[in-house]
Structure 1
Amino acid sequence: MREFTNPPLASAPPVGGLADVVFDHAQEDPLRAAFGRKDENEQWRDVTAAEFRDEVLALAKGLLAQGIRFGDRVAIMSRTRYEWTLFDYALWTIGAHVVPMYSTSSAEQVFWMLHDAQVSAAVVEHEDHAMTIATVIDRLPQLHKLWQLDSGAVQELYEAGAGIDDEVVHRHRRAVTPESIATIIYTSGTTGRPKGCVISHANFMAEASTVIGLMEPIFTSKRDNGASTLLFLPLAHVFGRMVQVAGVLGKVKLGHQPQMHAAVLLPDLAAFQPTFILAVPYIFEKVFNAARRKAEKDGKSAAFEKAVEVAVRYADAIEAKAWGIGAGPSASLRMQHQFFDKVVY
């Protein structure tokens, strides 16, 4: 058997954990828009790096006040939303292990993951999720806490931790090392029950740094507000989680969309205007086909097809340049690309 190896493009730092960048970025550039989230009027508003740091810190205090300790395992069962990322980083701040569960998981699937990972607390999105866990709660004696996002869990925890000093949280954060467990992700498994895959802080940091290195141009957008992406992949899957971690590490403005239906995605893509999106091929196909149908309905078929042609030529030129066999997009092609970028949005 022949073996081929390549040197790693990035490695995890020798100390610290995933949550450190939240505090570092807030100190370096507190007013940078780190996230976009919808308000009560469904309008996107910015969350600065300092605001996110403060929310992570407040939530971490609440979790400590409610008995979550270093090394405890906490499950999250929710669709993709801002609060998932908030809980992820708050739990990582205090050294807890996050166990993600798909929002569509059955009661038996939920039982197996909570039991096998020895989860002591869980965060769910809404009442249906809470009821799913309730049907198996008598078989989970180690599960002591359950918080529901749609019932004010975040505010409840903020208030619970109000009396805890910041330094208590930072002592937990400083105890996290690259080798500490960050998450346990359950795969479907080839046979039998799902298998829990243990992923360390170092694993995620190295992977995210490699992604940023390989895709450096899209992580350093020349747009006025920098790079941004709309995350709609499930955060229970490692791909969605990697997008989240790389986005936070790479200072990409991150938005969340809980639905992958093209009819919902298209308006949010137009409103949020991400500089890039990462997804699996069938999602792009759905969005593309929906956009084409909308263009046809609006009488813009010719403009849409021209935009497709320009986008393909632009992508081919970029790829050729990356492989060292071309000079990249011409000035004319760049202008066409920028023009149709505005047309599409």
Structure 2
Amino acid sequence: MRDISTPAVTAAPRAGGLADAVFDRAAREPDKVVLGRKSGGVWRDVTAAEFRDEVMALAKGLIAQGIRFADRVAIMSRTRYEWTLFDFALWSIGAQPIPIYPTSSAEQVMWILHDADVSACLVEHEDHAMTVGSVIDRLPRMGRLWQLNADAVGQLTAAGAHIGDDVVHRHRRAVTPDSTATVIYTSGTTGRPKGCVLTHANFLFETDTMATRWEPVFHSRPGDEPSTLLFLPISHVFGRMVEVAAVRHGVKLGHQPNLAASELLPDLAVFQPTFVLAVPHVFEKIFHAARRKAEAEGRVKPFDRAVEVAVRYAEALEDRAFGAGSGPGPGLRMQHQLFDKLVYGKLRAAMGGRIRHAMSGGSAMERRLGLFFAGAGVTVYEGYGLTESTAAATANPPERTRYGTVGLPIPGTSVHIAEDGEIWLYGGNVFGGYLNEPKATHETLRDGWLATGDLGTLDEYGYLTITGRKKEILVTSSGKSVSPGPLEERVRLHPLVAQCIVVGNDRPYVAALVTLDPEAVDHWLRMRGKPRLKASELVRDKELETEIRRAVVAANTMVSKAESIRTFRILSAQFSEEQGLLTPSLKLKRKAIESAYAVEVEALYRG
């Protein structure tokens, strides 16, 4: 199969913009709780009327400070309540918020502020202010700099107190679906980041489609009030889509900026979301943490048995959904019921207790991991998309999930597999082009079709599987083409592995560099009665090397001998964004890594 389309479930909007949802909901349901806000360590509810009033007051302040229709205002912050407040205030006056990752370097900030011709910037704290300040002399258009931790909201609210509501409403009513909502810069694994121009129509199509088709996923049980805790970066299109969908469709939204378990788990316990949206790495961390805890308590064998039962149970349900089986048998159901009390229920409790559904995107999730979570009572619906497609372009449907795939085209979109295996996308969520980049736009958009640069296949049911990326294909000196992504993901499944990069371009064979997860390694050493080792000693530990070799051998079972990883090297430190080796969305910068570790790469091919 090379082509598949899914019929639309929503009509294209004829008027209005994203901010209308704030005012419409407040008019219909003023007392409905629409957000949760954490202040001083305590969560409090925010009603639709309260949020509208805050948005209105801030929008007036922005006008008072000189922000006008179509002006671009940068936001550099972690995920927090005020980001959502500023987004909707800016959209209320027809301005365009431009997200910047909070970890961006001065040069990255400089490029975005310059390329987007930004007139004002909001930062979270003094360090961010200093980063912007270090390049502000090269930005003649930049007239304002506000700081959230220095009461930017209060200052702007006070500044706009004399402006009437009608001024904001006039701006808001001038916004049309075709108006630019935001410019989101790609992470830039190769070359300089490009600004994706996304319209209000792109977000309206995307969020209305997802909310309509996947509405059952939002609930823990039928009839409850849906809620989600957003811990994805709002600077990324996935987090931005979640923010808009929640506000637009009455899902109570909370914000959590820290993914560390010590911060996230307590907030999950208090906020108790009915569903979450995350990247596969989060689910991997949850699984590995649960297994480490079981091992530390001497219960690793029952835990592993519970994993097997969960996987078999979910596979049996999947087979039934696709007409290939009758579902779990009596014996499997009994085992599943037992482990639900002993293992699965505790896992769900650690995630807040009410979560029964989750959505995953950003990178591929291993099929077995998805089956485990589904068997444990949390179905993870994997999807696929890009900044250029306003987040999800495909996703697994609630009633027929095919684990290990990224699902079907979302309603109203089409997927085409080109002759060379490249995935092309078409639909109302596809952007109109890159800012100031006509050549790149022409190369990426083909008669409205988005050429993604990703490679994939469609199975007999029309489900998409990602197989690699065109620019990342390695060609060995013998002429063998190798897609590194699947190999890397399989190696990374080992609990001790943090990252893996496969090399071999113009080399005689494929090899890999591997980094370690410090938390997992500490646990591994403790369980074996080994002393803590220096990084330089750790990478030479023979028992540890054997563990990593198992991960490599498992990955090699997926490919032919010519494509397999022949040798590997364990590194003493992880790749980091600060070193320029990862993008803000944690993708590997391959050329930068191979350059930084040139000596280690050469060593893989000696002898």
For the Cα contact (< 8 Å) 2:123–2:145, is it kept in 1?
yes
What's 1:16 paired with? 16
In structure 1, how many angstroms separate the alpha carbons of the residues matched to 2:313 and 2:164?
A: 53
Which deviations, in whole Å up to 9, do the C-alpha atoms of 1:115-155 show, x marking residues without a partner? Answer: 00000000000000000000001000000001000000001
What's 1:92 paired with? 91
Unaligned runs of 5+ in 1: none
Which deviations, in whole Å up to 9, do the C-alpha atoms of 1:221-272 show, x marking residues without a partner? Answer: 5377511111111111101111111111221111111011223212211121
What amino acid is the match of 1:209?
D
Which deviations, in whole Å up to 9, do the C-alpha atoms of 1:271-297 show, x marking residues without a partner? Answer: 211111111101111123234445666
What amino acid is the match of 2:149?
D
What's 1:196 paired with? 195
**Structure whose CA Rg is larger:** 2
Aligned residues: 344
For the Cα contact (< 8 Å) 1:70–1:96, is it kept in 2?
yes
Q: CA, structure 1 residues 25+299, in 2 after alignment: closer, same or farther (shift >3 Å)?
A: farther
What's 1:51 paired with? 50
For the Cα contact (< 8 Å) 1:34–1:253, is it kept in 2?
yes
In structure 1, how many angstroms separate the alpha carbons of the residues matched to 2:158 and 2:19?
A: 22
For the Cα contact (< 8 Å) 2:35–2:252, is it kept in 1?
yes
3-state SS in 1 of match to 2:82: helix
1:83 aligns with 2:82: yes
Q: CA, structure 1 residues 308+19, in 2 after alignment: closer, same or farther (shift >3 Å)?
A: farther
1:135 aligns with 2:140: no
What's 1:213 paired with? 212
Report which stretch shifted further, 140-149 or 270-279. 270-279
For the Cα contact (< 8 Å) 1:11–1:209, is it kept in 2?
no
What amino acid is the match of 2:273?
P
What's 1:25 paired with? 25
Q: In the TM superposition, what is the alpha-carbon distance from 1:334 to its structure 2 partner?
A: 9.6
What's 1:102 paired with? 101
Q: In the TM superposition, what is the alpha-carbon distance from 1:189 to its structure 2 partner?
A: 3.7
In structure 1, how many angstroms separate the alpha carbons of the residues matched to 2:42 and 2:199?
A: 36
Aligned counterparts, 1:270-281, within 5 A:
270-281=269-280
Q: In the TM superposition, what is the alpha-carbon distance from 1:10 to its structure 2 partner?
A: 3.1
3-state SS in 2 of match to 1:287: helix
Q: CA, structure 1 residues 157+4, in 2 after alignment: closer, same or farther (shift >3 Å)?
A: same
Q: In the TM superposition, what is the alpha-carbon distance from 1:184 to its structure 2 partner?
A: 0.1
In structure 2, how many angstroms separate the alpha carbons of the residues matched to 1:29 and 1:226?
A: 14
What's 1:64 paired with? 63
What amino acid is the match of 1:217?
P
Q: In the TM superposition, what is the alpha-carbon distance from 1:7 to its structure 2 partner?
A: 3.1
In structure 1, how many angstroms separate the alpha carbons of the residues matched to 2:247 and 2:324?
A: 33
In structure 2, how many angstroms separate the alpha carbons of the residues matched to 1:131 and 1:119?
A: 17
In structure 1, how many angstroms separate the alpha carbons of the residues matched to 2:305 and 2:159?
A: 56
Q: CA, structure 1 residues 112+303, in 2 after alignment: closer, same or farther (shift >3 Å)?
A: same
For the Cα contact (< 8 Å) 1:59–1:87, is it kept in 2?
yes
In structure 2, how many angstroms separate the alpha carbons of the residues matched to 1:226 and 1:314?
A: 29
Q: CA, structure 1 residues 209+328, in 2 after alignment: closer, same or farther (shift >3 Å)?
A: farther
What's 2:160 paired with? 161
Report which stretch shifted further, 94-103 or 11-20. 11-20
What amino acid is the match of 1:96?
A
Q: In the TM superposition, what is the alpha-carbon distance from 1:340 to its structure 2 partner?
A: 2.3
In structure 2, how many angstroms separate the alpha carbons of the residues matched to 1:307 and 1:99?
A: 46
TM-score (norm: length of structure 1): 0.88
3-state SS in 2 of match to 1:278: strand
What's 2:36 paired with? 36
Aligned counterparts, 1:305-344, within 5 A:
340=345, 343-344=349-350
Report which stretch shifted further, 11-20 or 298-307. 298-307
In structure 1, how many angstroms separate the alpha carbons of the residues matched to 2:302 and 2:29?
A: 40
For the Cα contact (< 8 Å) 1:11–1:205, is it kept in 2?
no
In structure 2, how many angstroms separate the alpha carbons of the residues matched to 1:166 and 1:74?
A: 21
Unaligned runs of 5+ in 2: 354-607
Q: In the TM superposition, what is the alpha-carbon distance from 1:199 to its structure 2 partner?
A: 0.2
For the Cα contact (< 8 Å) 2:61–2:157, is it kept in 1?
yes
Which deviations, in whole Å up to 9, do the C-alpha atoms of 1:189-230 show, x marking residues without a partner? Answer: 464311000000000111111211332212355377511111
What amino acid is the match of 1:89?
F
Q: CA, structure 1 residues 9+328, in 2 after alignment: closer, same or farther (shift >3 Å)?
A: farther
Report which stretch shifted further, 275-284 or 2-11. 2-11
For the Cα contact (< 8 Å) 1:77–1:100, is it kept in 2?
yes
Report which stretch shifted further, 288-297 or 11-20. 288-297
What amino acid is the match of 1:86?
L
3-state SS in 2 of match to 1:170: helix
Q: In the TM superposition, what is the alpha-carbon distance from 1:15 to its structure 2 partner?
A: 0.7
In structure 2, how many angstroms separate the alpha carbons of the residues matched to 1:152 and 1:69?
A: 22
In structure 2, how many angstroms separate the alpha carbons of the residues matched to 1:336 and 1:36?
A: 34
What's 2:247 paired with? 248
Q: In the TM superposition, what is the alpha-carbon distance from 1:306 to its structure 2 partner?
A: 8.8
In structure 2, how many angstroms separate the alpha carbons of the residues matched to 1:268 and 1:317?
A: 34
Which deviations, in whole Å up to 9, do the C-alpha atoms of 1:67-123 show, x marking residues without a partner? Answer: 101000000000000000110011011100111000000000000000000000000
What's 1:149 paired with? 148
What's 2:123 paired with? 124
3-state SS in 1 of match to 2:5: coil
In structure 1, how many angstroms separate the alpha carbons of the residues matched to 2:92 and 2:318?
A: 39
Q: In the TM superposition, what is the alpha-carbon distance from 1:29 to its structure 2 partner?
A: 1.4
In structure 2, how many angstroms separate the alpha carbons of the residues matched to 1:68 and 1:76?
A: 14
Report which stretch shifted further, 5-14 or 157-166. 5-14
Which deviations, in whole Å up to 9, do the C-alpha atoms of 1:153-200 show, x marking residues without a partner? Answer: 001111111111111111111111100000000113464311000000
1:7 aligns with 2:37: no
3-state SS in 1 of match to 2:117: coil
For the Cα contact (< 8 Å) 2:219–2:275, is it kept in 1?
no
Report which stretch shifted further, 321-330 or 267-276. 321-330
3-state SS in 2 of match to 1:8: coil
In structure 1, how many angstroms separate the alpha carbons of the residues matched to 2:338 and 2:34?
A: 29
For the Cα contact (< 8 Å) 1:314–1:334, is it kept in 2?
no
Of all paired residues, the percent bearing the same amino acid is 63
